[in-house]
Structures are given as C-alpha cells and as structure tokens.
Structure 1
Amino acid sequence: MGKVVGPERFRDIAVKYFQLRDSSLQAWQEHRAQVQSAPDTRSRIFNTARTVFAQHGQSATVREICRAANANVSAVNYHFGNKDRLQASVLEDFLYEIRGIYPLHGGVDDSAEPEERLFGFTLACISGMLISHGDEYWNLNRLLHDAFINRFEAFQNVAHENNMLLRGIVTPIVDTLTGHKCNEQQLDALLSGYFSQLFFYVMHIDDLLLAKEQKFFTDSDAYGIAQHITAFSIGGIKNYSELMDAEIDFPSLWCTACCESTRYPDGVQ
C-alpha cells in the first residue's frame, strides 16, 4: 500500500462518479423509452408488469397486469410461468439497470489504492440502493430490497449470484487492507461486519428519511454515508489482526436469512 488516501480523494471520486452517473442516467432513460414501445406480447406484459408492480408491489395480480397489457392470463404462464417468476424477471432486469447507472467499480480503477476501491464500491452500493430517479424507480428499488432481505423464493438464484459477485469484489480489497494477515474465517468476519453496515441503511430507509425530514436521499447524503462506512471499515480492518485474537463464528451474510425483517405487506412503502 502506497499513498495516504484522505477525504479530498474520496470527494474527487464522488464528483466524477456522479458525473458519470448523469450520463448513464440519460442513456437509461432513452433505453426505457425504446423498450416500452416494443409491440410483442412478452414485452408488453413485461413492461406493464413493471409499472403495476411499482404501483402495487406484492399485491399486484396477474389479472390486473393482463388487463392493463391487453393480454391473456395464459400468455403470462406461457412466457414467465407464474406471477412470482414474472416479478423476479422484472426485478432482475431492474437490478441490471441499476448496475448500469451505478457500476460497482465506483469510478475507481483496479490499480488504485485499496482505500479508494473500497470507497468507490461503497459509494456505488449506497447510491444504487438509496438514490431515487422517479417514483417507479424508487418503488421498484424498495421491492428489490424486499426480495433480497426477505428471501423472495423466485429471486433466490439472482440474489445468490449477486451476493457472490459482491463478495468477489470486496474480498481482495479487504485482504489487501489487512496486509494479507487474516485467515479465511477472519476475512469472513470482516466482510460480515462491512456488509452489515450496508444492510443497516437499506433496512432503515424510512427511519433515516424521517429523522432527516426528507422524502428522498440526495447525492450528498449518499456521499456522506459512503464516506462514513468506508472510514469506519478501514479503521477496523487495518487494526483487526492486532486487536482480535478471539475465535468467532459469524453467520454468513451471503445468506440473508440472518438479516430478515418484517416484510412490507405490499412490498412497497
């Protein structure tokens, strides 16, 4: 590890990342306008389901979606299998859209210092989870959070792949920050501690917004949260091997059952 990384560098990363986001957001909006006009039955059902799920969450019905899409219920079964698979397909597509708007590298190159890479990744995750780009986007994101936290069965393969992707990105960063001094069990404990901070903000969105007397999070909010998580994590990670000698067996946060909370009645608040 080389140069010292301070707040000025984090701020520079955030400014450039949000500029990149603005360009990606415009491309996403143009893409949404194009796909919404697709005439085939599958696309018509899919695009309508996206809107209906955003409006009504878990309480949306297949008949409601088909009525709005001018399609038969049998067409949903033919193209998607059932309502849960249709919802999972909508959420998977939306997750990839978020990753296009907020790529997980956070605007930081792989050759950068590990502190910078951890901040970039944290900023990407927090921004993707908390920043809104319209009512439909916000409501679908809340439904996506619910699918991850409460283990929506039809979405579990996507959730598992996503969790492994996140772990694969963060593990080498944390390992480098420790000076490669930790064993696998210790690394798992550090990763659990880091990701639990991300889970906290997702699981307490309403409380945090109420406390701030805001309806949505701003770019500045996301930057501040990301900087806090990063600074707190780096301090703990770098000192872990010197301060920790007890045996610990953390539950795996890659299986989010240990983070389950009360499911929102309709998936959206």
Structure 2
Amino acid sequence: MSAVIQNCGFCIVQVQRLHSQNKALMGLGVSDTDIRELDISANLALRNLICNNTHLNILDVSQHKNLNILRCENSPLAYLNLGNNENLTELNKTDSTVNLDVVGSSFNIKEAYKGIDPNNMTMISGGDLDKETGIVSHYQVGTPIVYKYDCGTSGNGKETMQVTLHLNVKKGDSLITLNKELSKTYDGQPIELNETDLTVKGSSKPITILYEEKREDSWVKLNSAPREVGTYRVKISVGEDEYYHSAEIVKEFEITEVGTAVPHEVPPTGDMNSIGFNIGILLISAGAIVYSMKRNNKKRKV
C-alpha cells in the first residue's frame, strides 16, 4: 500500500493522519509540497520514501530497516539520519541549504533541530560547535555556517551530506544586575563600585557608570563617586553591539550622617523632692535607644 500527498494544506493533514495510522504502509510520496514535518515513526514497513522539493528540516529513517528507496533531494535538511541500513540501495540526496532564526551571539542546535547529534557534525567554516552541549557560537552576521553531517550507512557504504546554514540573527536583550548595596553611613570614603559588583549578560560593549545627586527637585550630574551625606542615584549602562541591544538600570541610594538622631518628646513624668526631671528618648540610626535626663530646677507650685 502506498500514499501520495498532494500540495494542499488539507490533503497534507489528512494523509499524514492516515499514514500515521497505517503501520503496513510500504510507500509514501510527499514531493513538491509545503510539508515541514513528517512523522513516520509508526511506519516501519516503509520500503519507498520520496520527499524531494519539500520544506523538511529533519528526516530520521534510522529505524526503517526495510527501506530500499529514499529520495530527498532539494529539501532544506539540517540533518539526515539513516542509521545502518544495508537494504537501502537507492539513495538520492543533495547537499542542503537551511535558513534559521537565532537570537544573540550563540544558539543550541539541539534545540533548533530535534534529534540532531552534534557528534555527527564536523564544522567546516563560519562558527564553533560545543559537541557536548550543542552550543554554536563565534559566528558573524552575514556569514553562513557550513558543516558536514555523518548520516550513517546505506547499502552503498558511509553517507554524508554538507549543510550550509544561513542565520537570520536577531538582537537579544542585554541584562544588568547590581549585586551590591550602595547605601551606607558616612565614613569619609567615596562609594566603591566596579565591574566585579555587576553581572552583565548580552552586549560586550564597555560598562558606563554615572552618578547623580538629588538637590531639591532635580538631579545633578557628578564627576566622581559621591562621599558626602546626601541622596544619590547611579546609572549603569551598556551599549548596543552586533548581537544585543543596549541596557540601563538606575539605582537610588543614600549616604546618611553618623548617629543621626530623631528626638521624640515625652511629657514630664513627675518630680523628686520638688526637683523635676524631663526624660527624652533619642533614637540613634544604628538602632540603639539612648535615654537622656534633664534636670528641671523649677519648684513645684503649692
């Protein structure tokens, strides 16, 4: 039994549903269609598979040991997995050209193409591959990545294909995180802030740090890190590069006076031998409570 998919959306959906339910299917043709995915995992009886001129990015026939004929020319395959199939005596394939949208300066090819094995990839030009993680990096905008893929073996021996991967690089968002508390009690020393106090993800441009002081209702730019008592804010920014957008964060902080006290009035509590004492409480910024006593020499009226 064979099935042929015609180039219409409804036909593709219907025949995909039918062939996935037909485990005895021996022949399948999807050439010259807009099909982008083909699940033939249930069709292990397949002997003929024709998928020329499609939009397929992946094709795995490693479990189809009965497959005799495979034609997959002019399809944008990122990889082809044949497994080891000595029964596959007629194989027509071509090197492929693939387009891929990525964000930033690296991407995971295992996430881009499910089932691809980085260990079967040999990078030829255009980027670097970490075979353990699948991370591809060090590519340039406008320069394609070229690699050779080990497809397995057919009745004709070892099979490989060359893939040219054109990247549509979209800029990612940069992220700045401040890992230090800047507010402090006055100690005569300027605020210390350097790159080790920051976590920057994304852009590789230099980090810019700008301080401003609050004066009444406006902010005034400072030429150096503040050290005096006052209210301040810092603007930390990183510029846009080839792969990531710029970013900026603003953090407000204070340098407070040592022992800043806020008096709380307490009414007189009485007297002792016609000599009264007024008791007040001073709240010290460090958190301690200090009691003060003031002699009142005014005699009590009789």
Place the TM-score, normalised by the shorter chain, in its bin.
under 0.3
Q: TM-score, normalised by structure 1?
A: 0.23
Structure richer in helix, relative to its length: 1
Greater relative contact order (CA < 8 Å, ≥ 6 in sequence): 1
